[in-house]
Amino acid sequence: MADAAAVDTVTSVPVAIVGAGPAGLMLAHLLGRAGIESIAIDTRTRHEIETTQRAGILEADVARDLVETGVSDRILRDGDEHEGIELRFGGRPYRIDFKELVGESVWLYPQTDVFIDLAAARDRDGGTVHFGVRDTEVLDVTSEQPRVRYTAPDGTRHEIRARYVVGADGSRSMCRGLVPEDRRVRYTKEYPFAWFGIMTEAPASAPELVYACSEHGFALISQRTETVQRMYFQCDPDEPVDAWSDDRIWATLQARVAGEDGFRLTEGPIFEKTVLRFRSFVQEPMRWGSMVLAGDAAHTVPPTGARGLNLALHDVKVLADVLLRALGGEGAGALEDYQSRALQRVWRAQNFSYWMTRLLHTAPGGTPFDFRRQLGELDNVVGTRAGRGYLAEQYTGWPTRTSA
């Protein structure tokens, strides 16, 4: 049993959440609305999370949930609704009109802003979140009294006693390692490229996102504000950031979007440069005893198509529903539903992210046949209504199954 002498405080709550990124905080918010208390902890400081650039596209359903569940309506003022994207290849632009094809849109609203809104909502609603903790331990997950221990930034040691522990601790999750090795399966796919991401101070180069495929590789032209833009280009996973001067970056980006229409990016000073590695990953099961995994802790996708955050927020929507039932008298049996309801979307998103990545990137060592075939596939996507409809439907997301 708990050795309470080893800690400075012991707190009991129904749900302990390891990881206070968007998934952990959205779960805390949804539980809090239903009167269920939780404590969320994170090894990162609030400032660190707020200033780490992540993806920027939200499905309309996710945007609606942020507003309708009372997180914040800031997205309606500061976000941008996009009714389509542009694909560029062979030097030509092709618009995919989501609204016309599937009656949907997406929102450009950076993940950092989603986090800022969720953290502010926790403050406003009196939720407990501890940032900057260390030495996190999750204990007794196969019992009905799991515990989480951590050291606060001031060096004091704390214990949370909960009925359920949620591992929302991201792509380098410690929680997922609590499922014994011989009882878990990890499905992984590595890619022979990464993204070089930049932030630049410049006006937008295009009204919507531009996904470009050229024989030199992929580029994505995204946005942040009227004066700040986010762009990415495909690079080697071991590319040293320092090898890239601003001039070299702009030359690379311009070459990848160049075309017969004379399209040019508006250049400006670059104030952030990062190489972002990625992979496809799923761990099953998503539940072990009294512990449940959500978001990147259970699955990651390559960034093309911006599924990651959307998927994480869908996980916690299903998880909140299941936890409320479990705590509301149904017992742990209610958790049985979680994985099957979450996984269908997870594998759909895995397929879409893999498909869109392969559609737009050039594989190192590819032959002229490979590139010609790829142009043929792109032509099939933009040149048929079924192709455009498929992309539009997948990019804008699938409805959540909130009931079993």
What residues make contact with ligand DHB under the rule CB under 6 A?
55-57, 209, 220, 222, 230, 303-306
Which residues make Cβ contacts (< 8 Å) with residue 56, sequence separation at least 6?
108, 109, 110, 111, 222, 223, 224, 230, 306
In terms of CB distance, is 31 or 210 closer to ligand DHB? 210
Q: Name the residue nearer to ligand DHB (CB basis): 129 or 209.
A: 209
Q: Kindly give the pairing relationship between strand 92-97 and strand 9-12.
A: unpaired
Shortest gap between Cβ of 113 and ligand DHB (angstroms)? 11
Minimum CB separation of residue 366 from ligand DHB in Å reads 22
Nearest approach in angstroms of CB 252 to ligand DHB is 18
- Contact (Cβ atoms closer than 8 angstroms) between residue 281 and residue 300: yes
Task: Give the shortest CB-209-to-ligand DHB separation in angstroms.
Answer: 6
**Cβ atoms < 10 Å from Cβ of 354:** 17
**Which pair of tokens denotes residue 319?**
């998880």
Residue 125: CB atoms within 10 A of its CB come to 13
Report the nearest approach of ligand DHB to the CB of residue 77 (Å). 18
By CB neighbour count within 10 A (0-12 exposed, 13-18 middle, 19+ buried), where does 363 fall? middle
- Sign for the CA dihedral angle at 5, 9, 10, 16 comes to negative
Residue with smaller CB distance to ligand DHB, 70 or 203 = 203
Question: Residue 257 Cβ, how far from ligand DHB at the closest point, in Å?
Answer: 15
Alpha-carbon distances, residue 284 vs 173, 185, 352 (angstroms):
14, 5, 19
In the complex, residue closest to ligand DHB by CB: 56
Size of the chain, expressed as the number of residues it contains = 404
User: Which CB sits closer to ligand DHB, 305 or 397?
Assistant: 305
Nearer to ligand DHB, 36 or 220 (CB): 220
Residues in Cβ contact with 377 at an 8 Å cutoff, skipping those fewer than 6 apart: 359
Q: How far is the CB of 353 from ligand DHB (least distance, A)?
A: 9
- Cβ-based nearer residue to ligand DHB, 101 or 221: 221
Measured CA to CA, the distance from residue 40 to residue 127 in angstroms comes to 9
